Amino acid sequence: MALIIVESPTKARTFNRILKGRDYFVFASFGHIRDLPSNKLSINYKNQFQPDYQIIPNKRKVVNELRRLAKSNTEIILATDLDREGESIAYHAAYVMGFIKENWPEFNIKRSIKDKLKRIVFHEITAKALEEALKNPQELRTNLVKAQQSRRILDRIVGYELSPLLWKTMGKNWLSAGRVQTVALRLVVEREKEIRKFKLEDYFQIYGEFSQIAPFKAKLISKEGVVFEEKITTQLFTGIYTYSKTSINQKNIEEIKSDLGNDHFHVFSIDESKEKRYPPPPLTTSLLQQNAFYKCGFSSKMTMRLAQDLYERGLITYHRTDSFNLSTNFVFKAQDYIKKEFGNQYALEKPRGYKTKSKMAQEAHEAIRPTKFEKEINSTGLTINHKRLYNIIFNRAIASQMKEAEINLIKIQILSDKKYLLITLIEQVVFDGFFRLLNPKFAKENKIKPNIKVNDSLDLKTLTPELLTTKPPPRFNEASLIRILEEKGIGRPSTYAAIISLIQLKNYTEKDGRYFVPTKLGEAVCDFLAESFPEIFNLDFTASMEDDLDKVAGGEKNFIDLLNIFYEPFKKRLVEKKDQKITIDVQDELDEVCPQCKSALVIRYSRFGKFIACSSYPKCKYTKSFLKTVKGKMCPKCAGEIVIRYSKNRKRFYGCSNYPKCKYSTWKL
C-alpha cells in the first residue's frame, strides 16, 4: 500500500476518484502542519536565522495520523502543490514522519529510507497527468523549501521587529508592518498624493456627425494646421503618466461653434490599411485576478479561492503560475475543438506560442487552462461564481489558439472651407477570428464601411461640444494594483490576494467604490516607515529581493547569505530608530462637539475600524460608532438612512442606521 499526501479534502476526493480500485491511500493534511508560533519572533539570529517551527496546535491529530500511516505503508508519496508553498507543506510532512534529518541550514533526507519517500509533480489533476507523475517520481526539491523559508524568515523579521516600533510611535498595539505589504500600501499612498497635487483644468472637445458617415462622429483636430490637442507627460512615483487636453476653452468655444455651424465640409482624404489583431495570451495568476475583477467584480481573494476549488476538482490546471506555456497535447486538441465549434477558417495551421514577459516567472508551469474541452461544467458543490471564473479561463485558453482577426482601419479626414480639420477613425471587421469567442459584440457592431469617396461634400448633422476636465492619475483598484505589483516585480502572484486583504484589514486603506483610498492612519504608517527605512520600503529593493529569492529557488544563491545581506543594515537602522522619541497621533477632526463635556469630537482608529471619540480622552471617555451614510438612499423598511458597514472579513455591505431596531441589510444597493 502506498500513502499519498495532499493538502485538502477536495483534492483527496479527486485523487480517490481517479485512482479508484488501485493500491493507494490518499490523506489530506489540511494545509500546513508546522509554522512559526505567533506569540514570539521564533528566529534564532545566533544560529544563522534558524526558525523555530512548531506543530500547529489543531494539527496534532493530523501529525499523529501521518506518523502512524508512515509506519504502516511501504511507500510515501508527497503530492502537494508544485509551487514553493506546496513544497514547504511536503517538507514539513516528511519532517514530522521522520524522513528529514534537519541540520540547519541544510535539509537532508535520511539515506536509510530515501527510497521510501517520493515526490510527484503535476500541473493538473487528471488521470493522464497523475499516471505520468507516478511513473516519474522525484526527490523533494529542497531549494524551493529554502526559498519559501527565506521569505517566511524575512517577513517575520520585518513584521515582528518593526511592529513594536509602530506601536510605540502610533500608540496602537495592533498595527503591523510588512516587507511587501508596506510597499503595496506606499503605492496607494503615493498615488493619492499625486492626485491631490494634480491641477484640474476644464477644456472642450468638439465632435461633428455627418449624414453620409453616421453613426460615426468626427473629432475636431485643428484649424489651418494648428492642432488643438496637446499631450502632457508627468513623472509619478510609479512611472510616467500622460494625459491630453485641448486649447478649446470657455473663451473661444462660441467662436469655433459659430464658425463650424456656418461652414461647408468635404472629404479631404480616405486612408485605409489592413491590420491583424492577435488574441491575448492564456491566463497567468495575475491576469486571472485582473480579468475576474473587471468582468465579474471578484476580489483577488475570492478569485484564488474559486480557482483553488476548480483545480482541486480536476477542472483546470494549476492556478499559481507566471507562464504562458500550453502543453502540446492541449494545443492540438484545441485545434480540433475550434474546427468543430467554429469552422476550419478559425483554426490555426500551427499552434501559437507566447513569450513570457514577466521578469518574475519562476517554476516551469503551464498557463491556466481547462483540463477538458467542456464549455459548461456541472459538478456537485460548484456555484455560479465557479462557473463564471471557469468560463473566463476556458474562453481565454481556447481563443489563444484561434485565428487572428482582420481589421480594415479607415481614417477619414474632413476639411472645411474655413480650414477646420476633423478626423474619424473607423474599424471595419473583415474577419472576426478570435473575436467570435472573446468579443462577438465588437465584431457584430463594426461591419459597416461608409459609402463615400474623396471630395464628396458632407452635410453636418449635429455639432456636439463636450466639456471635459483633465484627469489626474487614477486611483488603484485591485486589478490595477496587482498589475503594477507584477510590473515592478514586487511580491508574487500567489501573494497578491493576501497583501490586498491585509492593507484593508489593518484599516490602512478603504474603498471608494472599487478604488483604494488610503486612510489617515495608512498615510501616517506609510510615511513613517518609508522615511525611517528608505532602503527597505522602496520599489527597487523589494523587487531585487524577489529576484534573489528566485535565485535561491534555482540553487543560484545561498539563502543564509541573502538573509545576512538584508539583516545587517536593517538591524543598524532599527537600533537608531528605537532611540528616537517620536509620537504620531492620528485623528480626523469633526465639526461636532461631545454631548458630555462639549469638547471637540474626532475620528480615531481601532483594530475594528474608525470610531468617533472625545478629544479630551482620557478625561472624557465618550465614544460612538462611525458610520458613513449613502446619499440619496433610504431604508425600504423604516425610511432610515442607509449606512456602510463591514463584515468580520472586511466585506462591505449596506444596512439601516436604526439597527438593531431595524435589521435591513443588503450586499448591493
CA separation for the pair 403, 431 (Å, rounded)? 9
Kind and range of the H or E run holding 13: helix 9-18
Which of 157, 102, 144 has the alpha carbon at shortest distance from 552?
144
- Which CATH entry fits the domain spanning 158-197+478-578: 3.40.640.10, 1.10.10.10, 1.10.460.10, 3.20.20.70? 1.10.460.10
The domain limits of the chain are: 2-140, 158-197+478-578, 202-278+405-469, 285-399, 588-666
- pLDDT at position 364 is 53
Exposure string (b/e) for 102-137, b if CB count within 10 Å is 16 or more?
eeeeebebeeeeeebbbbbbbbbbbeebbeebbeee
266: how many CB neighbours lie within 10 A of its CB?
A: 13
- d(CA 600, CA 614) in angstroms, rounded, equals 6
pTM: 0.89
- Whether the CB-CB separation of 89 and 31 falls below 8 Å is answered with yes
Residue 228 pLDDT > 90 = yes
User: What pLDDT, on a 0 to 100 scale, did the predictor assign at position 360?
Assistant: 47
With a cut of 80, say whether residue 648 has pLDDT above it.
no
**Cis bond upstream, residue 215 (ω within 30):** yes
Q: How far is CA 146 from CA 85, 162, 611, in A?
A: 11, 24, 43
Q: What's the rounded mean pLDDT across residues 562-591?
A: 87
Is the pLDDT confidence value at 224 over 60?
yes
Task: Give the span between the Cα atoms of 518 and 526, in whole angstroms.
Answer: 10
DSSP per position, 41-69: --EEGGGTTEE--EE-GGGHHHHHHHHHH
Give 87-118 pLDDT, tens digit per residue.
Answer: 999 999 999 999 988 789 888 777 666 679 99
Secondary-structure class of domain 202-278+405-469 per CATH: mainly beta
> Which amino acid belongs to residue 378?
N
Tell me, what's the pLDDT at 363? 43
Which tens digits make up the pLDDT trace of 519-558?
999 999 999 999 999 989 999 999 999 999 999 999 999 9
Residue showing cell 486612510:
519
Percent of the chain scoring above 90 in pLDDT: 80
Q: Would you say the C-alpha torsion 649, 650, 652, 655 has a positive or negative sign?
A: positive
Handedness of CA 364, 332, 314, 373 (dihedral sign): positive
Residue 493: the pLDDT is 83
Q: Residue 208's pLDDT band (boundaries 50, 70, 90)?
A: very high
- The set of cell numbers assigned to 395 is 474562453
The Cα 617–Cα 291 span in angstroms is 47
Beta bridge partners of 623: 613
Torsion, CA 638, CA 647, CA 478, CA 507, rounded to 10:
110
CB of 484 closer than 8 Å to CB of 185: no
Encode pLDDT of 338-389 as tens digits: 999 999 999 999 999 988 765 445 445 799 999 999 999 987 889 999 999 9
Say how far apart CA 281 and CA 430 lie, in whole Å. 22
* Look-up of cell digits 500511516: 69
Residues in contact with 125: Cβ distance below 8 Å, sequence separation at least 6, in sequence order? 11, 14, 15, 18, 311, 312, 313, 314, 371
Average pLDDT, the chain: 92
Residue pLDDT, tens place only, 479-524 = 999 999 999 999 888 899 999 999 998 889 988 889 999 999 999 9
Three-state SS at 158: helix
Distance CA(500)–CA(482), nearest Å, equals: 9
CB atoms within 10 A of CB 575: 9
As a residue count, the chain comes to 669
- Look-up: residue for cell 455639432? 463
Q: Identify the helix (H) or strand (E) that includes residue 28.
A: strand 24-28
Q: Which three cell numbers stand for residue 63?
A: 501529525
Q: Are 485 and 184 in contact (CB under 8 A)?
A: yes
Residues serving a catalytic function are 318
pLDDT at 199 over 60: yes
Q: Is residue 316 within 8 Å of 370, Cβ to Cβ?
A: yes
Query: DSSP code of 477?
Result: B
Q: What is the pLDDT of residue 650?
A: 65
- What tens digit of pLDDT does each residue of 582-616 get? 778 888 888 889 999 999 999 988 887 789 999 99
Report pLDDT for 307.
97
- CA dist list (Å): 504 to 497, 514, 589: 11, 13, 22
Q: What percentage of the chain exceeds 70 in pLDDT?
A: 98
CA 415 to chain centroid, in Å, comes to 46
Write b or e for each residue in 409-445: b if 16 or more Cβ atoms lie within 10 A of its Cβ, otherwise e.
ebebbbbbeeebbbebebeebebbbbbbbbbeeebee
Question: Minimal CA–CA distance to 183: which of 542, 573, 562?
Answer: 542
Task: Tell me what pLDDT residue 103 has.
Answer: 85
DSSP 113: G
**What is the mean pLDDT of the segment spanning 397-403?**
98
Identify the pLDDT of residue 397. Answer: 98
Instruction: Check residue 106 and give its pLDDT.
Output: 86
List residues bridging with 656 in a β-sheet: 642
Please give the CATH number for the structural domain made up of 285-399: 1.10.290.10
Query: What is residue 651's predicted lDDT score, i.e. its pLDDT?
Result: 74
pLDDT for residue 216 is more than 60:
yes
Q: What is the mean pLDDT of residues 292-304?
A: 95
Q: With 70 as the cut, is the pLDDT of residue 283 above it? A: yes
Q: What is the fold of 2-140?
A: Rossmann fold (3.40.50)
Contacts of 568 (CB under 8 A, 6+ apart): none
Question: CA 258, 263, 269: angle at the middle one, nearest 5?
Answer: 130
Using 50, 70 and 90 to split pLDDT, how confident is the model at 438? very high
**DSSP code of residue 111:** G
Output the CA–CA distances (angstroms, integers) from residue 46 to 42, 51, 172, 573, in the order listed: 12, 11, 30, 19
Residues near 612 by Cβ (< 8 Å), separated by ≥ 6? 590, 592, 601, 602, 603, 604, 623, 624, 625, 626
